[in-house]
Amino acid sequence: MGSSDLSMILPRVLIVSRRTVRKNKFVDFVGEYHLDLIVSYGAVPVIVPRVTGVHMLLESFEPIHGVLLCEGEDIDPSLYDAELSGFAPEELEEIRALHASDTAIDKEKDTIELRLAKLCLERNIPYLGICRGSQVLNVACGGTLYQDIEKEMSKNCSLGQRVVHMNYENYDGHRHLVKVVEDTPLHQWFRDSLEENKMEIMVNSYHHQGVKKLAQRFVPMAFASDGLIEGFYDPDAYNPQEGKFIMGLQFHPERMRNQDSDNFDYPGCKSAYQEFVKAVIAYEKKLSCSASIPKSVKLDQEIEKKRKVIVRSFSIARNMYSSGGGKVSGQESELQVGAEFLEANTALSLQQENRLKQMGATVRNASTYIERLKMNEERERVARNLIGKMSVGQLSDLISFYHMMGQICSEALEKRLHDLVLHAKMHFAATA
């Protein structure tokens, strides 16, 4: 089996890229460790580019066997906190200045990832959220976030409880303590690394936001010393062997990997990806097995049935042609069968064509007539569907564009009419 054949049968994991600017141009990227681990354990990462409008094209990425969400900017606060956590304008400016690379909200990425998260929750597709991805999962289920951990949590923490959750000077090397909750998947993965009577590990993190109110369906798996939830999962949707996996980790197990090595700080770090991909593989198999298997058909009966349907379609078309009537209500679907038959790239013998002409088969004309009748209605439906999926910003731009075009058309029409009137006056004067 060639590599191309292998790629067709491996399950697919969607990962949304993060946008940045390089050499004055936008560049999309995904962390290499995420991709490497997904491939290592037997799945194919499919990168969903952060491109304007791609949230309307997610069906094109089917089949989806798993979703891994990771890097990205802060989630738009309006999606979970209408009151903006009570920050004064100067406090918000201070947060933006301190975390400039993360506070530039990307609404397109928010839309793409929230739709994918909700799709996973609806279909029970395996989902692993790392850092921002865990926050997306919580928000998708109705949870909320701290917009800035230091400003919001420090009020309730003693000096000894405060935790540094990000270190700009030591991106990969930074670690802080978390306490693992017993009898959770995280406990199973790190059990052999936990000291006796202690449920603590040192983890890497890089974030200034985090889970504030955990959505009701989730159970915490780990806490930082300041009380911040560092991991959670849905116990009703966790069984990797059966294709179930819905989980969020605020810390980065993939960055607890030794440079140029397959060794990690703890053996359990790999388990997040191993168990996730195990669930992805099981989900793909379950999906394949549940696909409907076509039953054997009796060809003679099927062909005869199709023949009768097509003949009836031609008969309706002939009557419509003979009577000159344009009313097709209630008969559209039957006419369409014949139209599709004649409009298909199927070679007909001369005898067949003559026989169809004798029957008065004008289904081609009927099909065109139907399309004309439905054209305005279809255009309106497509326009409403497309516009309904646009963001507020896109709608505002569209309204501004058409307002501007309306003004231009009005000015052009007024000038054209003025020129016509002037030309008519000159012509009248010349002939008087």
Domain map (residue ranges) of the chain: 9-290, 299-388, 391-432
Q: Categorize the per-residue pLDDT at 77 as very low, low, confident or very high, splitting at 50, 70 and 90.
A: confident
Distance CA 131, CA 206 (A): 8
Report the pLDDT value the prediction gives residue 351, as an integer from 0 to 100: 62
More confident residue, 34 or 244: 244
Distance CA 410, CA 404 (A): 10
- Does position 264 have pLDDT exceeding 70, yes or no? yes
51: region left, alpha or beta (phi > 0 left; psi from -120 to 50 alpha): beta
Phi, psi for 208 (deg, rounded to 5): -120, 0
The catalytically annotated residue of 150, 254, 275, 284 is 254
Distance CA 101, CA 63 (A): 33
Distance CA 41, CA 359 (A): 62
> Cβ contacts of residue 306 below 8 Å, gap of 6+?
none
> Among all chains, which residue has been given the structure tokens 């936990």?
194
- Does position 395 have pLDDT exceeding 80, yes or no? no
Q: Are 67 and 127 in contact (CB under 8 A)?
A: yes
Distance CA 71, CA 123 (A): 24
In angstroms, the Cα distances linking 80 to 119, 144, 214 are 19, 5, 12
Q: Are 7 and 38 in contact (CB under 8 A)?
A: no
Report the pLDDT value the prediction gives residue 277, as an integer from 0 to 100: 96
More confident residue, 390 or 124: 124
Query: Measuring CA to CA, which residue among 173, 230, 179 is closest to residue 204?
Result: 173
Question: Mean pLDDT: which of 73-87, 107-121, 152-166, 291-305 is highest?
Answer: 107-121
- Does position 7 have pLDDT exceeding 80, yes or no? no
Query: Which of 108-122, 234-248, 305-319, 363-377 is predicted least confidently?
Result: 363-377
More confident residue, 379 or 272: 272
Report the pLDDT value the prediction gives residue 27, as an integer from 0 to 100: 67
More confident residue, 429 or 32: 32
Report the pLDDT value the prediction gives residue 364, as an integer from 0 to 100: 47
The catalytically annotated residue of 55, 252, 269, 284 is 252
Report the pLDDT value the prediction gives residue 162, as an integer from 0 to 100: 77
Radius of gyration of the chain (CA): 31
- Joined together, the tokens standing for residue 238 give 């966790």
Report the pLDDT value the prediction gives residue 215, as an integer from 0 to 100: 94
Q: Categorize the per-residue pLDDT at 242 as very low, low, confident or very high, splitting at 50, 70 and 90.
A: very high
What single DSSP character describes residue 291? S
Helix 299-323 to helix 332-343 angle, to the nearest 10 degrees?
110
Mean pLDDT over residues 70-74, rounded?
84
In angstroms, the Cα distances linking 296 to 293, 299, 308, 387 are 9, 9, 21, 44
Query: Parallel, antiparallel, or unpaired: how do β-strands 244-249 and 127-130 relate?
Result: parallel
More confident residue, 293 or 49: 49
- Does position 404 have pLDDT exceeding 80, yes or no? no
End-to-end, the C-alpha distance of the chain in Å comes to 90
> Cβ contacts of residue 252 below 8 Å, gap of 6+?
130, 131, 203, 204, 205, 206
More confident residue, 221 or 398: 221
Query: Measuring CA to CA, which residue among 230, 222, 223, 273 is closest to residue 250?
Result: 230
Which stretches of 154-298 are DSSP H helices?
185-190, 271-290
Report the pLDDT value the prediction gives residue 258, as an integer from 0 to 100: 84
Distance CA 237, CA 192 (A): 25
More confident residue, 238 or 426: 238
Mean pLDDT over residues 342-349, rounded?
55
Known catalytic membership, residue 252: yes
Which stretches of 179-237 are DSSP H helices?
185-190
Neighbour count for residue 149 (Cβ, 10 Å): 23
- Does position 12 have pLDDT exceeding 80, yes or no? yes
Question: 177: which strand partners?
Answer: 202
pLDDT in tens, 290-313: 765 444 444 467 767 777 777 777
- Does position 343 have pLDDT exceeding 70, yes or no? no
Whether a cis peptide bond, with omega within 30° of 0, leads into 63 is yes
More confident residue, 31 or 116: 116
Mean pLDDT over residues 360-375, rounded?
52
Report the pLDDT value the prediction gives residue 310, as an integer from 0 to 100: 72
Helix 299-323 to helix 363-388 angle, to the nearest 10 degrees?
100
Q: Which amino acid is at 162?
A: R
Query: Measuring CA to CA, which residue among 349, 364, 361 is closest to residue 312?
Result: 361
The catalytically annotated residue of 131, 141, 230, 269 is 131
Known catalytic membership, residue 165: no
- Does position 251 have pLDDT exceeding 90, yes or no? yes
The CA angle 183-184-186, to the nearest 5 degrees, is 125
The percent of residues in the chain predicted with pLDDT above 70, rounded, is 71
Top-level CATH class of 9-290? alpha beta
Query: Which of 161-170, 210-219, 266-275, 359-368 is predicted least confidently?
Result: 359-368
pLDDT in tens, 179-225: 999 999 999 999 988 877 788 999 988 888 899 999 999 999 999 98
Q: Are 112 and 16 in contact (CB under 8 A)?
A: yes
Count H helices and E strands in the chain, helices first: 13, 13
Distance CA 272, CA 252 (A): 10
Mean pLDDT over residues 351-368, rounded?
55
Q: How far is CA 305 from the centre of its chain?
A: 41
Q: Categorize the per-residue pLDDT at 58 as very low, low, confident or very high, splitting at 50, 70 and 90.
A: confident
Known catalytic membership, residue 131: yes
- Does position 128 have pLDDT exceeding 70, yes or no? yes
Q: Categorize the per-residue pLDDT at 4 as very low, low, confident or very high, splitting at 50, 70 and 90.
A: very low
Distance CA 160, CA 94 (A): 24
- Does position 236 have pLDDT exceeding 80, yes or no? yes
More confident residue, 277 or 81: 277
Report the pLDDT value the prediction gives residue 238, as an integer from 0 to 100: 95
